[in-house]
Amino acid sequence: MSNSANISARANLLAPLYMILGMLLVPLMDGTAKLLVADFSVVQVVWGRYFFHLLSLLPLFLILRVNISFKPDNLSLQFTRAVFLLIDTALFFAALSFIPLTNGKAVFFVSPLIMTALAPFVLAEKVGFHRWLAVIIGFSGTLFILRPEADGELLGYILAFGSAAFYALYLLLTRKVSGHTAPLNTLLFTAIIGTLVMTAILPFYWTNPDLKGLGLMALTGILGTLSHFFIIKAFENGDASSLAPFSYAEIISATLFGLIVFGHLPGMLTWIGIAIVSASGLYVFHRERVKKHHI
């Protein structure tokens, strides 16, 4: 086997491992945010996530030897994309004030389905019958999760669903800008926009944090940076359709964090909803792979 073939095989092996690692870290960031929203405003928690994300992101440029650029290509799209991610983060952190972490993640899993439904309008992509059917079935799965009950309020589920919708728009715009700007510079621009916007409104919601609160805010930023870093590494070594199924690894760490830290385990109906939404999302990506192989 040639050296290039060995490198390619190693990359194919590492890509899903990077993706799984990144996806396992995301719920840890969200779980840390859930701890914070009990004592601080959502605005301050989101600010901490972006501010410390920005600080912890800068050393990666030195490690990976990437030149810093504060003005990415497609500036208007990059700005809109950054705002969508900021709204997504704010809505999800707000949702965690009302619902358990695992339930919030379960609702968030509809984002690939929303992305599929919006692709014809945003990217002018054709979505066939099979994928539309998967979207409809996936949305029906959320009915098992979107239930106001003892372990959450309906408002929290609506906020989580809104978060998933903005995340889907963020991913669609990410597709549009991909290949034009180095991923780290895209992340840097996103972090700068989030930090500037949240800093502007922070004085109206500021509460002096103790050392523990400040440490947890720093942890949300660091976990955000690490998770994005591993996801970027995954996409450097593998294609989106093959890596997408590994995004559901989030439910593992979300469930463990929720159980260990908050003592919450989702009920049977929530697990049924998770299974339906996850299966529908996986089927969408299966259809995308089939379509690619037929081109």
User: In angstroms, how far is the first alpha carbon of the chain from the final one?
Assistant: 28
Alpha-carbon distances of 181 from 63, 176, 290, rounded to whole Å: 18, 11, 29
- How much is the average pLDDT of 35-48? 95
| Rounded-to-integer distance, Cα 277 and Cα 160, Å | 14
Q: Tell me the pLDDT tens digit for each residue of 136-194.
A: 777 677 666 666 554 557 888 889 989 989 988 887 787 776 666 677 788 888 899 99
Residue 51: its pLDDT value, please? 95
Sequence-distant (≥ 6) Cβ neighbours of residue 250 within 8 angstroms: 23, 24, 26, 27, 105, 109
Check pLDDT > 60 for residue 224. Answer: yes
Check pLDDT > 50 for residue 7. Answer: no
- How much is the average pLDDT of 25-50? 93
Residue 215 CB-density burial (10 A; 0-12 exposed, 13-18 middle, 19+ buried): exposed
- How much is the average pLDDT of 8-26? 75
Confidence of residue 207 (pLDDT cuts 50, 70, 90): very high
**Element housing 96 (H / E):** none
Confidence of residue 89 (pLDDT cuts 50, 70, 90): very high
DSSP string, 207-225: ----HHHHHHHHHHHHHHH
pTM, rounded to two decimals = 0.80
Interhelix angle 3-36/42-64, nearest 10 degrees: 160
- The residue with greater pLDDT, 52 or 267, is 52
Dihedral angle sign, alpha carbons of residues 243, 246, 248, 253: negative
171 near 115, Cβ under 8 Å? yes
- The residue with greater pLDDT, 3 or 182, is 182
Check pLDDT > 90 for residue 287. Answer: no
Mean pLDDT of the chain, nearest integer: 79
Confidence of residue 1 (pLDDT cuts 50, 70, 90): very low
Task: Give me the residues paired with residue 152 across strands.
Answer: 149
18 near 230, Cβ under 8 Å? yes
Residue 1 per-residue DSSP state: -
